[in-house]
Chains A and B, each alone.
Chain A
Amino acid sequence: MGNSAGKSALCGGGDLKRLSFRLSALFLLISILPLVACSGFGRQDSPTGELMHLRLPMGYIPDPQYAPLYVASGKGYFAEEGLLIDFDYSSETDGIALVGANEVPFSLAGGDQAILARAQGLPIVYVTEWFQKYPIAIVSREEAGIKTPQDLIGRTVGLPGFFGTSYVGYVGLLSANGISQDQVQATDVGFTQVEALLSDQAEAVVVFANNEPIQLENMGVPVNTLQVADYIDLVHNGIVTNEETIANNPELVEGFVRAFLRGLAYTLDNPDEAYEISKQYVEGLDDSRRDVLLASLDFWRADTLGLTEEASWQRTQDLLIEMGLLDKPVSDLPAAFTNEFVLKVQP
């Protein structure tokens, strides 16, 4: 009886050996598991009847901001291309990794992520620019008097973190206005920007221009908003695929892009109907998010929907280097994007 505690201690020589073996085996298993998970068992792009099932990583929770995709699905645009879309709300990073490994053919992703992925050897290709304007903004209480980027100098600005879309937009805004990062007191407030602003943890916060400013206005808080897109053109969310899909199945890419752009155009023309369609895909959606969709429309509009520009890619890459997120320029930046399919599907 008295030995039981001694027996349970894993520090004994024999037990330590067994422990080391078990740890090795466990580590190996952990290394293999993701590969098994990605090994094609979970592949969902096999044809079922007439329609091909496609899993689409979205990068965020179900939200009316995805209305163009919901419309394309709900109105049968994807079905007309022989596609049935399963919306998958996993993270943007996971989506890109899956596309890079050719486990899924498409994902939604930002331009910054596409460049960073290319830099690490992922054969990602951005085929449609959905957001024509970068949707990040710096919002502050009206009484703080932050009306121009220069007013940020010496102020405390709250960021969700020193990575990701918000950080890219923030540095882009400063850089475009000749303000160095040292001149502004950036502080990380996590994803609680509204609370940070209201509790005076920060004088201004970096937010999504189509979301938090509306929340604050609905709360009756008068705010000033600096839109990043007013100062610098960076590449934001769009559709990415991979080189293999483009080479082996260009019709699939063309069909997907066509259906998406039809959904986008319909949403821009009929936002209220698009919002109603979104309710079929976003559980429990009431009318409180309608303003978010309406505010998003302006970020999507373009003369030619989906078209992307090389200059924006160059600017985004330069910014990533300036921020230290990218060590050097990617070897073939123009290979990271193409307008081929957007131009093909124009009516």
Chain B
Amino acid sequence: MQRILRFLDAQPTWLTILASLIFLLIAWQLLVIVGGYPAFILPGPADVWSQFQIVLADGRLLHHSLITISEIIPGLLIGLLIAVPLGYILAKSPLAERLLSPYLIASQAIPIIAIAPLLTIWISSTYWSRVTVAVLVVFFPILVNSITGMRSVPPEMVELMHSLNATRGQIFRKLELPAAMPVLLAGLKVGATLAVIGALVGEFVQPRSAGLGYMLVTARYQFKTDLVFVLLITLAVIALTLYGIVVLLERRLLYWQKRPENSTALSKQTRKDLGWETAPEKARYVEEEI
């Protein structure tokens, strides 16, 4: 087993992903065959692929996906725009933290599924009530990371900026924001995937005639389990895409960060030069670096 894992570890990333996908599909198909499950309990990959082609060809998948995405993106952005400034205020003002944090933490104990139907009544627009659900879901993790990020700035660096007569705005732009960025982006990654769940919860509770959530409800009503799988995979792809966008953003914004553990980004020769041929050697290297 160790051998196989070591072999896979040595392969390019795309090949490993492809291998894991093939492994997954084979295991899935075997499960269907060995278990003898009918399609309404567990459809095979071929059934799901066939259903995927149908809903792709008739345009339904794209239509409903775009609607869901149009709820996810504003949900994520609005959540970000509220959470980051609030996180800054809470990180900088102990009084604000004392006043607000009990409510913010308590709000996380309220299941969103219980509030979502009420939002339908409070906000007359279906679209905005769905977006609001997404905002509520993404808000807290981004907020927590914003606070953590802002607090991660070393005080001596702030003092240095003060000694250089930097204004409050300059300190924020030149020091605090860049320093907080890694943690902030980690929060955004979590938020990006949660926004998908948020929009879907909104569509589940208000299963009106649009969105992947509506399509999911209808597929379940029609007992089309293969279509349910198509939609779940589509949602996963949307979440992964959003996650990937944040990762790209992270690479662009955090280009100044060293990434010594990014072993596959280095050539085999470089790894050899570094003495990273074996795991213990790599561990020793990292230890020495620290």
Q: How large is the interface on A (under 10, 10 to 19, 20 to 34, 35 or more residues)?
A: 35 or more
* Binding stretch for chain A, among B79-87, B164-172, B202-210: B202-210
Given A8-B186, A12-B262, A28-B28 in contact, is the A93-B221 Cβ separation under 8 Å? yes
Contact (A24, B262) CB under 8 Å given A32-B31, A35-B35, A93-B223: no
Interface: B222 (CB within 8 A):
yes
19 A/B residue pairs, CB under 8 Å, sorted by A? A4-B182, A6-B257, A6-B261, A7-B261, A12-B263, A12-B264, A12-B265, A13-B265, A16-B13, A17-B264, A23-B20, A27-B236, A101-B38, A120-B224, A120-B225, A121-B40, A161-B208, A162-B208, A190-B206
- Interface assignment of B217: CB less than 8 Å from any CB of chain A: yes
B8 beta carbon closer than 8 Å to chain A:
yes
B281 contacts partner chain A, Cβ-Cβ < 8 Å: no
Partner of B40, one of A5, A97, A161: A97
In Å, the complex CA distance between A21 and B41 comes to: 25
Interface flags, B6-19, vs A, CB<8A=1, else 0:
00110001001100
* CB contact list, A175-212 vs B, under 8 A: 188, 190-192, 195, 199, 201
Residue of A nearest to B182 (CB): A5
Residues B82-122 near A (CB distance < 8 A): 117, 120-121
Contact partner of B209 (CB less than 8 A), chosen from A13, A28, A38, A162, is: A162
| With contact pairs A3-B257, A93-B220 given, residues A20 and B186 touching in the complex (Cβ less than 8 Å) | no
Stretch at the interface among B68-76, B136-144, B247-255: B247-255
Q: Among residues 154 to 173 in chain A, which have CB atoms less than 8 Å away from a CB atom of chain B?
A: 161-164
* Cβ contact within 8 Å between A100 and B40: yes
Q: Which of chain A's residues 13-59 have a Cβ closer than 8 Å to chain B?
A: 13-14, 16-17, 20-21, 23-24, 27-28, 31-32, 34-35, 38
Q: Tell me, yes or no, whether B66 is within 8 Å of chain A by CB.
A: no
On chain A, the residues within 8 Å of B206 by CB distance are: 190
CA distance A24 to B257 in the complex (A): 30
Classify the secondary structure of B's interface with A.
helix
- The answer to the question of A284 belonging to the interface, with a C-beta cut-off of 8 Å to chain B, is no
**Dominant SS at the A interface?**
helix
- Interchain nearest-CB distance for B179 vs A (Å): 10
A3→B183 CA distance, assembly (Å): 12
A285 at the interface (CB under 8 A from B): no
CB distance from A168 to the nearest CB of B (A): 10
Query: Could you tell me the distance in whole angstroms from the C-beta of B50 to the nearest C-beta in chain A?
Result: 14
The answer to whether B124 and A199 have CB atoms under 8 Å apart is yes
Task: Give Cα distance in the complex from A190 to B120, angstroms.
Answer: 8
In the complex, the answer to whether A10 meets B247 with C-beta atoms within 8 Å is yes
B146 to chain A minimum Cβ distance, whole angstroms, is: 15
With contacts A17-B9, A21-B20, A93-B220 known, is A12 near B250, CB below 8 A?
A: no
**Contacting pair A6 B259 (CB below 8 A):** yes
Is A117 in the interface zone, CB < 8 Å from B? yes
Task: Assess whether A163 is in contact with B31, with CB atoms less than 8 Å apart.
Answer: no
Q: Does A2 contact B (CB under 8 A)?
A: yes
CB within 8 Å for A3 and B258 given contacts A35-B37, A162-B209? yes
Cα–Cα, bound, A325→B90 (Å): 52
CA distance A94 to B27 in the complex (A): 26
Residue pair A17, B17 in contact (C-beta under 8 Å): yes
Given A3-B257, A27-B236, A192-B117, 13 more A-B residue pairs with CB atoms under 8 Å apart are A2-B257, A3-B260, A4-B182, A6-B261, A11-B247, A14-B263, A14-B264, A21-B16, A35-B42, A93-B221, A100-B40, A119-B222, A163-B217
Contact between B208 and A16, CB atoms less than 8 A apart: no
Number of interface residues of B (CB under 8 A): 56
Q: Report A-chain residues with C-beta under 8 Å of the C-beta of B254.
A: 5-6, 9
User: Cβ of A163: which chain B residues have Cβ within 8 Å of it?
Assistant: 207, 217-218, 221
Contacts A11-B251, A161-B214, A188-B126 hold; do A116 and B257 have CB atoms under 8 A apart? no
Inter-chain contacts of A20 with B (CB < 8 A): 16-17, 20-21
> Are A6 and B264 interface neighbours, CB within 8 A?
no
Write the A95-128 contact mask toward B (1 if CB under 8 angstroms, else 0): 0110011000000000001001101111000000
Contact of A190 among B31, B41, B126, B251 (CB under 8 A): B126
Which residue of A is nearest B221, CB measured? Answer: A163
Whole-angstrom CA separation of A120 from B126 in the bound complex? 32
Closest partner residue, chain A, to B233 (CB atom): A27
User: In the bound complex, do residue A113 and residue B221 qualify as a contact, i.e. CB atoms below 8 Å apart?
Assistant: yes
